[in-house]
Structure formats: structure tokens, C-alpha cells
């Protein structure tokens, strides 16, 4: 218990004093995860919207695969990206392995199916409500998709934040492709894993507190945004 108290006390000291090492790790974590979310949102929202309004042979299979990919273990994604980016891999020439870019790629691959699958569900629910009206007005294709995305924007923000939460909390993939290099690719989750094994519990715990706060803040923002939007726009 005294170890825990000491670690907790040390953690709050690091946070309150804005320890440079802590700030650097948190900054890199957010930078990597936000970049991954931006890429995954562009791909995932477009894919989700397209799947929601399109009808073609094999659509059900694609949706099933997409849903299954939501549960893909991060370490498997990390391994695949590692093989692609390693010297002998097809993308080895670009020298991306053990860089933040590799971590962004891995996280983007991890959360694109999550954003696409959740967005597909949100947009398809709206599509079921709007379909006859759109058909009656002669609204099809991209105009229909764009309208659906716009009308479900508040729910899609929640979807995107779910992706960001997953990216921030992920450890396996970034550990493999980033290498957990101090000052270069060390992010909150990989640092927590390392510092715990090293016995530097205050730093590990302070990073854990920040990580929990980030995830909690994201969820509070999502909840507030949805409530605000529903009250204001119906």
C-alpha cells in the first residue's frame, strides 16, 4: 500500500510540475493517435457511408469482414505492418520502421474498420428513415451519402472519438512498429509497459492517470456534444 501511495504521490508531482519527459510522451501519443484518427476517419467514414447506401452482391460479406476486423488483435496488425515496413519488406525502401509514421500507419489500420463499421451502422439507420423520402425527391448517390453523413454528424463524432480512444489505449501494434525508442517513438502505453518493468512506478502511474483522463475527457465531450446537438437540432 505504501508503494502505491508513494507512486501516486510521485505521479501527481510529475503531472503538476509538467515534467518534460511526461509532456513529451503525452504529446507524441496524442500526435500519433490524432493523425491516425484523421486518416482512419477519411477512409472509414467514406467506406461506411458507401456501404450504408449501396446494395450489391457480396455486401453482406464485406460488412461481416469489417465487423470481424473490429476485433483484430493489435499485435497482429503490428506484425503485418512490421513485415511490410522492414528492410526486406515491400515498403522497406522508405525507412519508416521505428518511426512515428509507422505507428500512425499501424493505428490507422487498427481503427479504420472500427470507424467504418460503426459509421456504416449509424448511417444505415438514418438511411432506413430517409430512403423513401430521398427516393421520392430523386436524391441519389453522393448527394444522398453527403446528406446522411451531415445529418448524422454528431453520432459520427462519437464514432470518431471511439476510434481515438482505441488508438490512445493501444499498445501492441505501436510497440512492434515503433520500437518504444526513448524520445522518438515512446508513447504513453509503451512507456507504461516499460516503466512498470523497470520499477519506475511514479512515471508509469502518472502516464496511466493522464491516459485515463484523456479517454474520460473524450467520452465526456462525446456525451456533451450529443446531448447538446439533440437538444438544439432535434
* Closest CB 234 distance from another protein, rounded Å: 2
* Closest CB 223 distance from another protein, rounded Å: 18
User: What is d(CA 156, CA 147) in angstroms, rounded to the nearest whole number?
Assistant: 13
Shorter beta-carbon distance to another protein: residue 72 or 139? 139
Shorter beta-carbon distance to another protein: residue 8 or 229? 229
Q: How far is CA 82 from CA 65, 101, 188, in A?
A: 23, 12, 20
* Closest CB 150 distance from another protein, rounded Å: 8
* Closest CB 125 distance from another protein, rounded Å: 13
* Closest CB 229 distance from another protein, rounded Å: 8
SS3 117: helix
Shorter beta-carbon distance to another protein: residue 87 or 232? 232
Q: How far is CA 128 from CA 21, 91, 150, 216, 220, in A?
A: 50, 42, 15, 32, 29
| Residue 180 Ramachandran class (φ > 0 left, ψ -120 to 50 alpha, else beta) | left
* Closest CB 132 distance from another protein, rounded Å: 6
Shorter beta-carbon distance to another protein: residue 151 or 200? 151
Dihedral pair phi/psi, residue 109, rounded to 5° = -65, -35
Q: How far is CA 90 from CA 47, 82, 102, 228, in A?
A: 26, 11, 14, 48
Residues engaged in binding another protein (CB under 8 A): 129-130, 132-133, 135-140, 147, 150-151, 232-234
Shorter beta-carbon distance to another protein: residue 121 or 196? 121
User: What is d(CA 200, CA 25) in angstroms, rounded to the nearest whole number?
Assistant: 15
Shorter beta-carbon distance to another protein: residue 141 or 183? 141
Amino acid at each position: 500500500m505504501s508503494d502505491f501511495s508513494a507512486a501516486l504521490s510521485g505521479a501527481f508531482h510529475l503531472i503538476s510540475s509538467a515534467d518534460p519527459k511526461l509532456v513529451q510522451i503525452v504529446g507524441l501519443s496524442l500526435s500519433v493517435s490524432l493523425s491516425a484518427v484523421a486518416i482512419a476517419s477519411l477512409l472509414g467514414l467514406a467506406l461506411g457511408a458507401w456501404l450504408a447506401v449501396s446494395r450489391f452482391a457480396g455486401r453482406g460479406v464485406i460488412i461481416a469482414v469489417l465487423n470481424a476486423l473490429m476485433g483484430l488483435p493489435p499485435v497482429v496488425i503490428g506484425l503485418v505492418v512490421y513485415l511490410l515496413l522492414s528492410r526486406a519488406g515491400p515498403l522497406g525502401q522508405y525507412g519508416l520502421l521505428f518511426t512515428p509514421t509507422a505507428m500512425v500507419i499501424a493505428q490507422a489500420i487498427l481503427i479504420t474498420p472500427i470507424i467504418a463499421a460503426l459509421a456504416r451502422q449509424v448511417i444505415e439507420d438514418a438511411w432506413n428513415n430517409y430512403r423513401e423520402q430521398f427516393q421520392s425527391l430523386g436524391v441519389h448517390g453522393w448527394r444522398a451519402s453527403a446528406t446522411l453523413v451531415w445529418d448524422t454528424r454528431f453520432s459520427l463524432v462519437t464514432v470518431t472519438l471511439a476510434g481515438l480512444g482505441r488508438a490512445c489505449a493501444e499498445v501492441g501494434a505501436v510497440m512492434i512498429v515503433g520500437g518504444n525508442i526513448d524520445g522518438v517513438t515512446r508513447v504513453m502505453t509503451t512507456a507504461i509497459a516499460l516503466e512498470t518493468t523497470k520499477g519506475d512506478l511514479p512515471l508509469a502511474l502518472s502516464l496511466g492517470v493522464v491516459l485515463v483522463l484523456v479517454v474520460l475527457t473524450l467520452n465526456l465531450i462525446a456525451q456533451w456534444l450529443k446531448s447538446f446537438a439533440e437538444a438544439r437540432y432535434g
